[in-house]
Amino acid sequence: MMKKHTFPKEERLCNKRLIDDLFRNGSSFFVYPYRVTSLRVEGVSPKLQVLLSVPKRRFRYAVQRNLLKRRMREAYRLQKNERLYPALESQPFGMILAIRYVGNEVLDYAVMYARMADVLRKLGNEIEIP
């Protein structure tokens, strides 16, 4: 059965305590134009929660920030079921992620999609190898 490509509210990281833990204790890596911070956690209701952000310092106009967040969300939503969830379902822990856009210019969706694929592939490999 094919899973739907959705990104419901439950999968979005909103809990301030978890966000603080993520940035305090999480490990991060960089795949241009994204900086990804991840942390393994026990007892998170969905197995994976994600925070997507674009800095106001680099993109002054909300229109640009919203465009980039929409593109990031779409690239993540379409690829998470193939690249990330199969590796996570067999594990006893859950994960919280922050994916931050750190590029200086607005990139095309095709580039962002390809880089998001690299990010999710790398995360999947990290999950399988403890």
Q: Render each residue's pLDDT in the chain as its tens digit; 130 residues.
A: 567 889 999 999 999 999 999 999 999 999 999 999 999 998 777 889 999 999 999 999 999 999 999 999 999 999 999 988 888 888 888 999 999 999 999 999 999 999 999 999 999 998 877 6
What pLDDT is recorded for position 44?
76
Q: Residue 112's pLDDT is what?
A: 97
| pLDDT (0 to 100) of residue 2 | 60
pTM: 0.93
What is the pLDDT at residue 58? 94
Separation CA 91–CA 17 (nearest Å): 23
